[in-house]
Amino acid sequence: MKYQNEINKRRTFAIISHPDAGKTTLTEKLLLFGGAIQVAGAVKSNKIKKFATSDFMEIERQRGISVATSVMTFEYKNILINLLDTPGHKDFAEDTFRTLTAVDSVILVIDSVNGVEEQTRRLMEVCRMRDTPVIVFVNKMDRDGKNRFDLLEEIEKELSIHLHPMTWPINSGKEFKGVYNLHDKSLRLFTANTKGNDEDVISINSLTDAVVDEKLGEKDAATLREDVELVDGVHGQLKVEDYLAAKVAPVFYGSAINNFGVKEMLDTFIRIAPLPQCRPTSVREVCPDEEKLSGFVFKIHANLDPKHRDRIAFMRVCSGKFERNKYYHHVRLDKDIRFSNPYSFMAREKSIVEDAFPGDVVGLFDTGNFKIGDTLTEGENFYFTGIPTFSPEIFKEVQNKDPMKTKQLEKGLLQLTDEGVAQLFTQHGGNKKIIGCVGELQFEVIQYRLLHEYGASVQFNTLPFYKACWITSDDQKKLDEFTRFKQANVGLDKDGHQVYLAQSEWFLNTERKNNPDIEFHFTSEVHKETA
């Protein structure tokens, strides 16, 4: 219980959504409230040249989408908030899924115009698997969207989650007049193109106050009274324990771009969001209040600063206290390492930290020691479980367009695939390099970054593979025989483990049937303990 005060102050969460739901805009407004930035940068458009604070890769600025998870830390009302902004694009889902292992709760942004979209469903599945508490923010209420009751029903049905409205909208689109706070019974009025502030909040004793009719007009005031009576009748008071158990998701309405409805959500978040939680490991459950440090790497990013060839491993502290210049045990490598310049983050800005506590995310300068999922402890041997790896779905051969830059290409491929955005396989003595990804856009990002960060020019040739399977066998002779006969379909991953690249589901099933002594694995988890 030594660090209980520090643990009580911390909240670590991720913002997730379908692309274009307004996630990065919401992130910026939260940072504004925390005083972490003075002016919000809009995602690049023809008219606006300021960039979103959390989009720090050049390609993100050009495309106006987030392709890597950003980590930001800020303080609000004496609570230290670690916020992880995740990519919305489905091609980068793997990065988002891994990030969800490093947080204690989630804010899900839903676009009121489009409702629940495909990527939203996939993200919620991961949250449900892990019983992660969720708060829903329904964005873009100032645009003509779906009926508020229909939208609630759609979210509940599509995402299999019980909702509990905390604020209630008064109209939508051009007629949007604001929100009623069901928790503290106050009214916040909306004026387009203005920043929401405390002067817009009207304190009322009850909805029968004449001031409600005066401000909203009789028709809208009557509709609001009916809506609230219905919502209160169905939902009543929020039971915080149901939210923490991921049985209920509180819902807030607003317009992130107008900074409207965000403060109500943030105030509720710091009041009810979970503290740093206990986490499963390969040996036992590790809890935040333990004295000894433990933490795991959930993300690696090369070249945060293109001027310096730096590689940062992002580590979530799970227990104890992390201290600068102290030696910690790297479980997989079985060696002790110390860090003289650990960082905390404000998107691109990073500052050196002396110590960190459970819930914090620390950036560790990495010379190639880390892989995703690596664990640091003060001597105990275990690793944190549940960090997903996916078998790629698209495979392309890397063709070097400039043989003079072979070394740069090799280095770039190794570093970029270490980040976990793609997997690297080699065939025929290491000459043929194959990249496997979950989505097409990842190839574009890799090609761009190889050129701009390493000076290596490549083109990708699509290969007819359907899935990558890691192969193992107790009978080494059978394995050697299989790899010799199937040379065109067998390669090595970057850790030297053998992989079978199947052309189709039929081929895969046939090989599994014909080779009962060989096991085909769909994740590389099987090698974790021996790696």
Query: E-assigned strands of 303-410?
Result: 311-319, 322-323, 327-330, 335-338, 343-346, 349-352, 355-356, 361-365, 375-377, 394-400
* pLDDT given for residue 63 in this prediction: 46
* pLDDT given for residue 84 in this prediction: 84
CATH code assigned to 4-74+103-272: 3.40.50.300
Assess contact for 125 and 164: CB atoms under 8 A: no
* pLDDT given for residue 38 in this prediction: 47
CA-to-CA separations, 180 to 183, 198, 199, 294, in angstroms, rounded: 9, 14, 15, 44
In terms of Cβ atoms closer than 10 Å to its own Cβ (0-12, 13-18, 19+), residue 465 is buried
CA 182 to chain centre: 30
Assess contact for 340 and 360: CB atoms under 8 A: no
Helices assigned H by DSSP within 341-462? 406-418, 440-454
Q: How far apart are CA 333 and CA 383, in angstroms?
A: 12
* pLDDT given for residue 326 in this prediction: 94
Q: How far apart are CA 104 and CA 279, in angstroms?
A: 10
Sorted by sequence, the CB contacts under 8 Å of residue 280 that are 6+ apart come out as 384, 385, 386
Sorted by sequence, the CB contacts under 8 Å of residue 516 that are 6+ apart come out as none
Q: Spell out the CATH class of 279-377.
A: alpha beta
* pLDDT given for residue 289 in this prediction: 93
pTM value is 0.77
3-class secondary structure, 147: coil
Closest C-alpha among 397, 405, 413 to residue 457? 405
Q: What are 336-350's pLDDT values in tens digits?
A: 999 988 877 654 456
Assess contact for 109 and 383: CB atoms under 8 A: no
Assess contact for 143 and 113: CB atoms under 8 A: yes
Q: Do domains 4-74+103-272 and 279-377 have the same CATH topology?
A: yes
Closest C-alpha among 395, 396, 397, 413 to residue 456? 413
Per-residue pLDDT of the chain (531 residues; tens, 9 = 90+): 678 899 999 999 998 888 788 888 888 888 888 775 544 343 333 333 344 444 444 544 554 443 344 678 888 999 999 888 776 445 455 667 778 888 999 999 999 988 988 778 878 887 887 889 999 999 999 998 888 899 999 999 999 999 999 999 998 888 888 999 888 888 888 876 655 455 567 777 778 888 888 888 889 999 999 998 998 888 888 899 999 999 999 999 999 988 889 989 999 999 999 999 999 999 999 999 999 999 999 888 765 555 545 678 889 999 999 999 999 999 999 999 999 888 776 544 567 788 999 999 888 888 778 888 899 999 999 988 877 666 777 899 999 998 888 898 888 888 777 777 788 899 877 778 999 887 777 788 788 888 888 889 999 999 999 888 889 999 999 999 999 888 889 999 887 889 999 999 999 999 999 999 999 887 765 445 444
Helices assigned H by DSSP within 425-504? 440-454, 476-485
Q: How far apart are CA 31 and CA 419, in angstroms?
A: 26
Task: Using alpha carbons only, give the angle 101, 156, 278 rounded to the nearest 5 degrees.
Answer: 25
* pLDDT given for residue 291 in this prediction: 93
Domain ranges of the chain: 4-74+103-272, 279-377, 394-527
* pLDDT given for residue 153 in this prediction: 93
Using CA atoms in the order 368, 446, 54, 60, what is the torsion angle rounded to 10 degrees? 160
Q: Tell me the DSSP string of 282-318.
A: SSSEE-TT-SS-EEEEEEEEE-SSTTTT-EEEEEEEE
CATH code assigned to 394-527: 3.30.70.3280
Q: How far apart are CA 522 and CA 270, in angstroms?
A: 39
For residue 451, the one-letter residue type is: L
Assess contact for 100 and 127: CB atoms under 8 A: yes
Q: What percent of the chain has pLDDT over 70?
A: 84
Sorted by sequence, the CB contacts under 8 Å of residue 526 that are 6+ apart come out as 470, 472, 519
Q: What are 195-252's pLDDT values in tens digits?
A: 545 556 777 777 888 888 888 888 999 999 999 899 888 888 889 999 999 999 999 9
N-term to C-term CA, the chain: 34
